[in-house]
Amino acid sequence: MPTTPPPPGFATLAIHAGAAPDPATGARITPIYQTSAYVFNSVDHAASLFGLESFGNIYTRIGNPTQAVLEQRIAALEGGTAALAVASGHAAQLLVFHTLMETGDQFVAARQLYGGSVNQFNHAFKKFGWEVAWADGTDPESFERAITPKTRALFCESIANPGGVMIDIAAIGKIAKKHGLPFIVDNTLASPYLCQPKQHGADIIVHSMTKFLGGHGNSIGGVIVDCGTFDWLKAKHRYKTLVEPNPSYNGMTLGETFGNFAFAIACRVMGLRDLGPAIAPFNAFLILTGIETLPLRMEKHCANTLAVAGHLAKHPKVAWVNYAGLASNKDNAIQKRLAPKGAGAVFTFGLKGGYAAGVSLVSNVKLFSHLANIGDTRSLIIHPASTTHRQLTDAQRIAAGAGPDVVRLSIGIEDAADIIGDLDQALAG
């Protein structure tokens, strides 16, 4: 009697999900469809596409065949029902909240976030009339205390940037479910290889694909994953974009028509269509190529990072090291529960010499690259207080884990001994 084969493993999905040989040429690698628009089969075909009665290509601002393979692959890796690839991680966040929020609405976010997100939430979003309430990602109950009748979502990172703090997303997810709110998790630092937020209560996942998904520092992109777990039609609050008749589509109610992937559709046909942060086909191609080696890279990233963090923890010029992968770290138990394959490649440490020592270190490294990025094959270093978090107040920097003594490392996949040797020589300078 035939048996049902088991589902494909992660590494298999990372290579094959969403892809097939090109039907026109037989090309095995997904082509770069470098076109702005697509020919319709007929007037009726065009009408069905514009009316959302059938799926297909209209204009690359809304979708592209190379992009479609990328979206299907990431949705498969995260266990979601659908995904939408866009121009950057910031664009992904913009489209998520544009779909969820109305003027005067509020969302609750962990204050342990990438500095650019703090700035986006505090300032740029205010122009839309969206308000953020800040919670402590290390204290899940602080999310519950911040919820008001105006709250429409909860947001955090699975591993916080820059501090490398492992957030208990399972606990926050339970609070979101209790209050009938969608839970959004930025999974950039962990990648789906280390952590799958859907398994811990996330309804929407975002990534900066610029980082570990692409992995080579050569392209910018963002992605939204619809986990298909939130019932918009039965939600406590009315998410108008999803539950009200849409005048752009002859009164169609997106939540009714598209069910468990309605959020991804709404982000595409209402957000991406009108705001326009489309991903370039070439960037989609490069990120697709990067994802093929994601499991191999993440294993090496994590092994190297554990070795580097352990070395720095014993260095006489280092005051502290915050890496959840260390057995002595306060987040180690959370890491083992939520991301058992590893704690990622990004962490922070503090220098006894404070701000001046941090500036000196980034000025003296040779193997490390001093730049504002993470998730590259190369090892990267930055002093957040003087760069990525410079726009914040001193209090905000400290709250975000970017105080004056903090240095952030993104450990690459070079030989661990060479990475450690470069840090040692720079600290000795």
DSSP states of 303-359 as a string?
A: HHHHHHHHHHTT-TTEEEEE-TTSTTSTTHHHHHHH-TT---SEEEEEETTHHHHHH
Helix axis angle for 89-100 and 115-122, nearest 10°, is: 30
Phi first, then psi: give them for residue 299, nearest 5 degrees: -60, -45
Would you identify the CATH topology of the domain 11-290?
Answer: Aspartate Aminotransferase; domain 2 (3.40.640)
Residue extent(s) of CATH 3.90.1150.10 domains in the chain = 294-428
Token match 């494909």: residue? Answer: 8
**Radius of gyration (C-alpha) of the chain in whole angstroms:** 22
pLDDT of 260 reads 97
Number of neighbouring beta carbons within 10 Å of residue 303: 16
Which amino acid is present at 30?
A: T
Per-residue pLDDT of the chain (429 residues; tens, 9 = 90+): 667 888 999 999 999 999 999 998 999 999 999 999 999 999 999 999 999 999 999 999 999 999 999 999 999 999 999 999 999 999 999 999 999 999 999 999 999 998 889 999 999 999 999 999 999 999 999 999 999 999 999 999 999 987 889 999 999 999 999 999 999 999 999 999 999 999 999 999 999 999 999 999 999 999 999 999 999 999 988 999 999 999 999 999 999 999 999 999 999 999 999 999 999 999 999 999 999 999 999 999 999 999 999 999 999 999 999 999 999 999 999 999 999 999 999 999 999 998 889 989 999 999 999 998 999 999 999 998 878 777 777 787 777 677 889 999 999 999 999 999 999 999 997
Distance from C-alpha of 123 to C-alpha of 37, rounded to nearest angstrom: 35
Residue extent(s) of CATH 3.40.640.10 domains in the chain = 11-290
pLDDT of 330 reads 95
Distance from C-alpha of 24 to C-alpha of 180, rounded to nearest angstrom: 47
pLDDT of 17 reads 97
pLDDT of 391 reads 74
pLDDT of 6 reads 87
Give the contacts of 160 (CB within 8 A, at least 6 positions apart): 110, 112, 113, 137, 166, 167, 189, 401
Q: pTM value?
A: 0.95
pLDDT of 1 reads 62
- Is the domain 294-428 a CATH 3.90.1150.10 member? yes
